[in-house]
Amino acid sequence: MNITVTPATFSYVEFDADLTTRVARELAASMGLDRDVRIEIDETTPLAKIIVDVPTAANEPIVVHADSGAFEDTRRPRRQSENTTATSLGRVLYRATDRLQGGFGEAPADGELTLAQMAAWETYSVGRLARLGIPVNQQRWRYNFRNRHGFSDAGDESFALLWSSDGLTWGELQAISERAISVGTPARAQVGT
């Protein structure tokens, strides 16, 4: 498995391509991901968007596009955080792994996922990252889930189920998400979307 990071050196931020490579390699090994991975960092933006392209051809690499904010230490602007890098990369690499390992064939492309579907998948991914030993703040992801599924006890139960699950299929994940919305009080912002 080959991991490449671009750019190799940075001028807008104080990032370390070697650290990013090491983190990605360790994550991929833990997840059982055997594809090449190319990570492209846009250091000109402080935003934290991170997306992943998963090619169908086996000989093509998974490509991660990350804004610099996705790997940044929020305590020290422009510096890289190993933990944030691991959490951000881990989320998209788990999504890529899910798509490649089967059971997620019916999942919409990342850009087509609803906010609730994305929040459910993020919960499922970060829960597994936590079990890999990556330090995460569970309440952050619970709050994200609540924002997308409503603030209710039933929603929290769905969150706990996703967080603790392994080996879900897209159908199972979506069913948990839909159940949370149906019994909770969906955010007004979600109505009609």
Least distance from other proteins to the Cβ atom of residue 96, Å:
19
- The residue among 61 and 150 lying less far from other proteins, judged by its C-beta, is 150
Residue 64: CB minimum distance to other proteins, A:
17
* Cα-to-chain-centroid distance, residue 17: 20
If the CB atoms of residues 90 and 150 are measured against other proteins, the closer one turns out to be 150
| C-alpha–C-alpha distance, residues 178 and 43, integer Å | 37
Extract the tokens encoding 2: 């080959």
Q: Cβ closer to other proteins: 67 or 98?
A: 67
Residue with tokens 């940075």: 10
Contacts for 101 with CB less than 8 Å, ≥ 6 apart: 32
Q: How near is the Cβ of 59 to other proteins at its closest, in Å?
A: 29
Closer by beta carbon to other proteins, 35 or else 72: 72
Q: Which is nearer to other proteins, 13 or 96 (CB)?
A: 13
Taking the C-alpha atoms of residue 177 and residue 155, their distance in angstroms, rounded to an integer, is: 8
Q: Binding residues for other proteins, per CB under 8 A?
A: 12-13, 42-49, 67-68, 74-78, 115, 118, 137-144, 146-147, 150-151, 185-190, 193
Can you state the angle between helices 138-149 and 115-132, rounded to 10 degrees? 160
**Cβ at position 190, least distance to other proteins in Å:** 8
Least distance from C-beta 144 to other proteins, angstroms?
4
**Shortest distance (Å) from residue 115 CB to other proteins:** 7
Inter-helix orientation angle 153-164/138-149, to 10°: 130
d(CA 69, CA 170): 29
**Residue 140 CB-density burial (10 A; 0-12 exposed, 13-18 middle, 19+ buried):** exposed
| Nearer residue to other proteins within complex by CB, 81 or 169 | 81
* Residue 135, token pair as written in the block: 């330090």
